[in-house]
Amino acid sequence: MSSRIWTPDALRSEARPFQGSAWRLVEAQHRVSTLKVVDSLGEQEVLESILDETKPPVPVECRHLDYLLSTPFRYRPYPHGSRFRRAGITPGVWYGAEQPETAVAEMVFYRFLFYAESPETPFPDDAAEYTAFSADLETGAALDLPSGALAESAQSWTHLTDYEPCQALADSAREIGVEIIRYTSVRDPASGANLAVLTCRAFDNAAPAERQSWRIRVGQTGAQAIREHPRLGIEFPAGSFEADQRLAAMVWDRPKA
């Protein structure tokens, strides 16, 4: 079944309630970077407030949320399209994964992609620190792409580089009030599930629920990701994502910073 038939009317029968959590990774210095230029927590709060005023306004329906949840909805125009969001002045999408390990795989892929597109950039000497956080989600209208009739278009939803079918699906989904799209991660070796949150209304709580600390090291042999608690290590060899042609020219033999 071609993805082209998924009009708003066709999608209505596929919409289902959803309740669960989604995990996302951010660099660990997201809160402490401004401490480097101030002398107290009070000064940091003032500086953070000044910086926030220079950014685009948070949409009204998102203003009750922690910035880790609301940030993807405030920035327009969107410079480059993603799987369920078109480039340009388009509605925001918050991406997460059902398991932290899947979120880590997504992050490692994009770190590899960064270095593939920056062949002169040395690999870092040390592992980078990340915070994984979970968000509680609940909606009466979600689409589950790996199940039901939507699974018949799996080839369209899982293309490594062509996001047009998914973007068109998201456009139609928004028309009928769908708030979450559940889909298979094409980066996770275990094929875990990702969640695309189309509206701030889908967040069941205003702040993240859980947090984990991760360290990710990228080097000539690939990447190693380590979680502090509960202890877990994941290896991503250099060829982990070689099916994506954007990594075909990756220069693995490069000096460290």
| Whole-number pLDDT of residue 69 | 98
Calpha distance 29→26 (Å, rounded)? 8
Q: Does 4 map to a domain?
A: no
Segment 98-141, tens digit of pLDDT: 999 999 999 999 999 999 999 999 999 999 999 999 999 999 99
Give the range of the structural domain holding residue 220, as residue numbers without chain letter: 9-247
Scored b (16 or more CB within 10 A) or e, 16-43 reads: bebebbbbbbeebeeeeebeeeeeeeee
| Whole-number pLDDT of residue 4 | 52
* Residue 131, helix vs strand vs coil: strand
Per-residue confidence band for 2, with pLDDT thresholds at 50, 70 and 90: very low
Q: Does 203 map to a domain?
A: yes
The count of structural domains within the chain is 1
| pTM summary value | 0.90
Segment 10-42, tens digit of pLDDT: 999 999 999 999 999 999 865 555 555 556 767
Q: Does 252 map to a domain?
A: no
Q: Does 86 map to a domain?
A: yes
Q: In this model, does residue 251 exceed pLDDT 70?
A: yes
Q: Which two tokens stand for residue 178?
A: 């769908």
Per-residue confidence band for 70, with pLDDT thresholds at 50, 70 and 90: very high
Q: Does 1 map to a domain?
A: no
Q: Does 2 map to a domain?
A: no
